[in-house]
Chain A
Amino acid sequence: MKRIIIFVVVIASMFMLVSCGSGPGSNAISYNFKQGSAGLEVKFLPKAPPPKIYPTSDFKMIVDMKNLQAYDVTQAKMKLVGIEGKYFDVNPLEQNLDVLVGRSLEYPSGDQVFVEFSVHAGELFQNAEQYRNPFFLKVHYFSSMEFTDTICVNPSFYKVYDGGCQQRERKSYSGQGAAIAVRSVEQIVFPSGTGTNLEYRFTLGNAGRGKVGFVNLGKVRLGGKDLSCEFTGKGIIDKRRVELKDIGQKTTLICKTFLKDQRSYETTLTADFTYDYEISQQHSLNLVK
């Protein structure tokens, strides 16, 4: 009995701890939205569509869409796929949406929009009792992602401490507040005659529940210096464009530079990407007698 009580208390405490500290709260002013994984929150409003639909009735399907990313969503397109026109006449089946602003200090909640679809229900087939039509709510959009981190650059191959900083060969990240994320960055040093070749390997992958289409590389900078980069691995379209077809698929971006200075120093490593993404959710419409 004692063990059970202790177990229950521990679980309750864990729940309380988890529920605390989520979101910016009163510290919004210092909260960094460009972390973790985030995407679009898409859902139907309760009873829109209604759980039971009657023949020849009119009703609305209303989608509540919220941008929880730290980046704007552009060229968003929402569509309903798989609805049989004979039973449900949906108008329109596809809608284009305006820009949805991402979360920021000025706009911590992110942009929210309600999208309506008007539907007219048809008749049931002969004397059927009901008709259930599973369908898919799909949202396709374009967005961007920026990776920024302060890293220690130590061109010296011999790892001699020079009063600067301590280099970390590999760093992992939880995300940058978007549906794709840089998961890790690896720093590799190659000595080369008068200087040092530095190579940065970014592991980039799908961080959301949808599907990534194409990822395009913008600029990668180490401090003020542009790095020469290219994607490697599966789905490569060209050096600066990759297609991540399977969910969970990762790709690697390799960036190189040459440094003459042998002293270690801290600087900012930044990379920006643009991508297109698709979310798909399954729902159903139930036409009853």
Chain B
Amino acid sequence: MVNTSGSSSQNTGSSKVGTGFKNFLRQDTQAQKESTKAERETTKVEKKTSSALRKFLTKERSLGSASSGVGLSIGVNPTLAWYIFFVGLIQYFLRLSGVGGTAPFFIAVFLLFIPSGYAVAQQAKKDKIVVLVPMLMFVLWYFVFEGNVEPSFLIYFFAVFGVLILIPLAFTKGKSTVAEALGFVPVLFLFLDLGMIPWLVETLNLTITPLLRSMVLFMPWWALLGLFFLPKSKNDGLNTFVGFLKIIGLLYVVFALITPMIPNLGYNTAGTLVPGAAELEDAQQRFRDQLPTGENPAFSNFACLFSDPTNIQSCVDGRQEKAIIENICLKKLGGDARSTDLSACQEEEAKKRKGGAVKVVGTIDPTIKIPTRANIKFDKRDFPTTSEFNLPFPFEFLLENPRKQDIKVQLDCNFTSLGTQSSVKGVVKGVNKFKTSDVEFESSYLCQPQTKLEGRYDVYFTVDLLNLKTISRLQRAFVGKKDPKHKERLLREEISKVIKIPLSQSPADFAKINFDLGHGRGQIVIEDTQTKNLVLLSKIENAAAGNIIKVHKYTIDLEGFETDDGSRDCMEGPKENQLTSTSLYVRDLPLPSCLISNYPQELKDTVDWIPKEFEAELVYDYQITRKQGVLIKS
């Protein structure tokens, strides 16, 4: 306020201004003090928050009492562990039985994956949040971003991922490293369960060994994980039971895995994209479809340990053979076959397998994902139950023909009375003989009995597939003349990395030729030497549930190779009367073997080594039969 009444008023005014300014300065200083105070308090709060956050992340949490009422547990919550174990078992059996479609996948992802991460965190006594971070980031990358490995995306993704990982590391001063690494345990089990091993088999051309078979078909991954999570409790009885279960689990793993190990790959396959979940599941399903389902090797090994301890391998082989035969018969007869029919089929199948064929082993070609397949389907509820209207019996025929072969198809049906054993002819109405080269063929048919049926019958649906062709291939390495050390070095450092499968390979068709060429069984190196024999062994294997009804031709392409007796029977045939209908009625049909006395010079003259792939072709007719028991009332 300015006083307008002269100099004294000016002095008063100036003093007032000065006072006001001083007051302003005091206020400013006061404000500064308050601001500083506020800042100090803010810093205190921040420090408290930071300290609280650090404590929150690194705090060792007690787990509280278990809801199962068995007392306090140390480690994983027992309810959670039992949950993972039982749900894991259910999911395993669903997958094993093939029932449930995509249910095993959804159970694995939604009902097992996240709880396992939680359990891992509890087991490691680390905070749950830190363990879940890598799991959630993996889920985002794998399912949302479909496992994108483009460099530009990865830079961006890992930058964000890195910050999220570093934050807990920074706050916990590195203590959460182990917890974050443990977050990948559920990820690993998810991959294993979805089908990582079958995918590796197909992508990396691994030999399908019994070990691999065990690990894919018979390993309940989630249940095993749940089993090992089960904690100790105060109850001694429960502890004993849980301990016993864990020992069984360990023994199961040991017995299932007492088989030759997967061959060492030794080759970097970096550059292949990470497979999606669907791709893994598909690989697993193809793998399962193509494998002969025998008995669980763990059970075989365990049973033989007690029943025949001095000859375990032979006992296991016998049990596996029996299980494979049973599965073949169940496929032939349908799941609800009568026990007498099943026994008869098993006897017949066992006779077939005792053909005395040379044990030449082949394997499924992992690069051929879709073999030629056929199937007869029917629903017995559609069958007539009375003879009143003389109704036909409907069925369907499905053919998968990926190589577009020209296949002749002949359909037939007949009825065998169970009482009188007499046969009643049936006629497949409409087009029952045709030729097709379609990739997929499916059609419905009606089987009309020629006379009225009354009583119990077995109805047989038969499909003859004519002019099928299956080609097998075999890889070998020709090294010429080399000293043993040089040969061993070549085999170890080079040949084994190029030729990884020593057996003949073919698609999982109805029948195939298995053949072996070399100085010994499965030996992939062939030398130019006078001191070792070069032998060709082969057989025709009936690999499906039907019968080979005719072999039109077999050839093993060894152009330029000469036999010691000049005969070509081991390389082409059959000769007249060589393969009769009786001799075809076996699982393994031996072909002539021979000694090779000479082969092309170009395969001998080499400073290094030469890879060579041989093919064997089989042209044949095949018959598939499905049987169903019916009761026709008058």
Residues of A within 8 A of B (CB): 1, 4, 51, 79, 81-87, 124-136, 138, 280, 282, 284
B200 at the interface (CB under 8 A from A): no
Query: 3 shortest A-B CB distances, which residue pairs?
Result: A128-B367, A82-B498, A81-B608
Are B611 and A82 within 8 A (Cβ)? yes
Are A86 and B403 within 8 A (Cβ)? no
Given contacts A51-B271, A133-B498, contact A125 B367 (CB under 8 A): yes
Q: Which of A79, A82, A125, A136 contacts B365 (CB 8 A)?
A: A125
Report the bound CA distance from A191 to B559 in whole Å: 73
Q: Which residue of A lies closest to B205 (CB)?
A: A132
A133 surroundings in chain B (CB, below 8 A): 498
Residues B592-624 near A (CB distance < 8 A): 608-609, 611-613
A85 surroundings in chain B (CB, below 8 A): 612
Are A81 and B609 within 8 A (Cβ)? yes
Interface centre among B368, B402, B611 (most CB of A within 10 A): B611
Are B608 and A127 within 8 A (Cβ)? no
B612 surroundings in chain A (CB, below 8 A): 84-85
Interface centre among A125, A130, A133, A282 (most CB of B within 10 A): A125
Q: Which of B267, B367, B471, B507 contacts A282 (CB 8 A)?
A: B267
Q: Which of B170, B205, B402 contacts A1 (CB 8 A)?
A: B170
Task: Give 18 CB contacts A-B under 8 Å.
Answer: A1-B170, A4-B170, A81-B609, A82-B498, A83-B611, A85-B612, A86-B613, A87-B613, A125-B367, A125-B471, A126-B403, A126-B471, A129-B368, A131-B367, A134-B267, A136-B494, A280-B493, A280-B494
Are A127 and B370 within 8 A (Cβ)? yes
B170 surroundings in chain A (CB, below 8 A): 1, 4
Residues B271-309 near A (CB distance < 8 A): 271
B471 surroundings in chain A (CB, below 8 A): 125-126
Q: Which of A79, A81, A83, A124 contacts B494 (CB 8 A)?
A: A81
Task: Please encode chain B, from 371 to 413, with 1 for each CB lying within 8 Å of some chain A CB and 0 for all others.
Answer: 0000000000000000000000000000000110000000000
Are B613 and A128 within 8 A (Cβ)? no
A138 surroundings in chain B (CB, below 8 A): 608
- Shortest CB-to-CB span from B559 to chain A, Å, is 12
Report the bound CA distance from A128 to B613 in whole Å: 15
- Shortest CB-to-CB span from B488 to chain A, Å, is 12
Q: Which of A81, A127, A280 contacts B368 (CB 8 A)?
A: A127
Task: Please encode chain B, from 468 to 486, with 1 for each CB lying within 8 Å of some chain A CB and 0 for all others.
Answer: 0001010100000000000
- Shortest CB-to-CB span from B310 to chain A, Å, is 43
Task: Please encode chain B, from 484 to 506, with 1 for each CB lying within 8 Å of some chain A CB and 0 for all others.
Answer: 00000000011101100000000
Are A127 and B403 within 8 A (Cβ)? yes
Starting from the known contacts A125-B368, A138-B608, 18 additional A-B residue pairs (CB-CB under 8 Å) come to A79-B608, A81-B608, A82-B494, A83-B611, A84-B475, A84-B613, A124-B367, A125-B365, A125-B471, A126-B403, A126-B507, A128-B365, A129-B367, A135-B498, A280-B493, A280-B494, A282-B267, A282-B497
B369 at the interface (CB under 8 A from A): yes
Residues of B within 8 A of A (CB): 170, 205, 267, 271, 365, 367-370, 402-403, 471, 473, 475, 493-495, 497-498, 507, 608-609, 611-613
A135 surroundings in chain B (CB, below 8 A): 498
B498 surroundings in chain A (CB, below 8 A): 82, 133-135
Are A125 and B402 within 8 A (Cβ)? no
Report the bound CA distance from A154 to B566 in whole Å: 78
Are B271 and A129 within 8 A (Cβ)? no
Are B609 and A128 within 8 A (Cβ)? no
Report the bound CA distance from A87 to B473 in whole Å: 13
- Shortest CB-to-CB span from A278 to chain B, Å, is 10
Q: Which residue of B lies closest to A135 (CB)?
A: B498
Q: Which of B267, B367, B370, B494 contacts A130 (CB 8 A)?
A: B367
Q: Which of B507, B611, B613 contacts A127 (CB 8 A)?
A: B507
A282 surroundings in chain B (CB, below 8 A): 267, 497
Are B494 and A127 within 8 A (Cβ)? no
Q: Which residue of B lies closest to A128 (CB)?
A: B367
Report the bound CA distance from A81 to B480 in whole Å: 14
Report the bound CA distance from A282 to B265 in whole Å: 13
B402 surroundings in chain A (CB, below 8 A): 127
A1 surroundings in chain B (CB, below 8 A): 170
Q: Which residue of B lies closest to A81 (CB)?
A: B608
Report the bound CA distance from A244 to B475 in whole Å: 32
- Shortest CB-to-CB span from B262 to chain A, Å, is 18
A124 surroundings in chain B (CB, below 8 A): 367
B271 surroundings in chain A (CB, below 8 A): 51
B473 surroundings in chain A (CB, below 8 A): 125
A134 surroundings in chain B (CB, below 8 A): 267, 497-498
Are B494 and A128 within 8 A (Cβ)? no
B613 surroundings in chain A (CB, below 8 A): 84, 86-87
A84 surroundings in chain B (CB, below 8 A): 475, 611-613
Are A129 and B609 within 8 A (Cβ)? no
Q: Which residue of A lies closest to B494 (CB)?
A: A136
- Shortest CB-to-CB span from A137 to chain B, Å, is 12
Interface centre among A81, A127, A136 (most CB of B within 10 A): A127
Q: Which of A82, A129, A132 contacts B369 (CB 8 A)?
A: A129
A81 surroundings in chain B (CB, below 8 A): 494, 608-609
Q: Which residue of B lies closest to A80 (CB)?
A: B608
Report the bound CA distance from A129 to B608 in whole Å: 30
B608 surroundings in chain A (CB, below 8 A): 79, 81, 138
- Shortest CB-to-CB span from A14 to chain B, Å, is 20
Interface centre among B271, B367, B368, B471 (most CB of A within 10 A): B367
B369 surroundings in chain A (CB, below 8 A): 129
Q: Which residue of A lies closest to B271 (CB)?
A: A51
A132 surroundings in chain B (CB, below 8 A): 205
- Shortest CB-to-CB span from A197 to chain B, Å, is 39
- Shortest CB-to-CB span from B223 to chain A, Å, is 33
- Shortest CB-to-CB span from A83 to chain B, Å, is 7
A83 surroundings in chain B (CB, below 8 A): 611
- Shortest CB-to-CB span from B48 to chain A, Å, is 17
- Shortest CB-to-CB span from B199 to chain A, Å, is 13
Report the bound CA distance from A124 to B402 in whole Å: 14
Report the bound CA distance from A284 to B494 in whole Å: 12
- Shortest CB-to-CB span from B146 to chain A, Å, is 20
A130 surroundings in chain B (CB, below 8 A): 367
Report the bound CA distance from A266 to B136 in whole Å: 70
Report the bound CA distance from A257 to B266 in whole Å: 50
Q: Which residue of B lies closest to A284 (CB)?
A: B267
Q: Which residue of B lies closest to A87 (CB)?
A: B613
Q: Which residue of A lies closest to B602 (CB)?
A: A85
- Shortest CB-to-CB span from A9 to chain B, Å, is 16
B493 surroundings in chain A (CB, below 8 A): 280
Report the bound CA distance from A136 to B608 in whole Å: 11
Report the bound CA distance from A86 to B610 in whole Å: 12
- Shortest CB-to-CB span from B343 to chain A, Å, is 38
B609 surroundings in chain A (CB, below 8 A): 81-82
- Shortest CB-to-CB span from A47 to chain B, Å, is 13
Report the bound CA distance from A161 to B611 in whole Å: 67
Q: Which residue of A lies closest to B402 (CB)?
A: A127
Are A128 and B368 within 8 A (Cβ)? yes
Report the bound CA distance from A129 to B271 in whole Å: 18
B403 surroundings in chain A (CB, below 8 A): 126-127
Interface centre among A51, A84, A138 (most CB of B within 10 A): A84
Report the bound CA distance from A181 to B59 in whole Å: 58
- Shortest CB-to-CB span from A96 to chain B, Å, is 13
Report the bound CA distance from A138 to B493 in whole Å: 13
Report the bound CA distance from A138 to B368 in whole Å: 31
Report the bound CA distance from A284 to B500 in whole Å: 14
Report the bound CA distance from A79 to B367 in whole Å: 28
B205 surroundings in chain A (CB, below 8 A): 132
Report the bound CA distance from A126 to B368 in whole Å: 8
Interface centre among B205, B267, B494, B495 (most CB of A within 10 A): B494
Report the bound CA distance from A134 to B498 in whole Å: 5
- Shortest CB-to-CB span from B407 to chain A, Å, is 14
B365 surroundings in chain A (CB, below 8 A): 125-126, 128
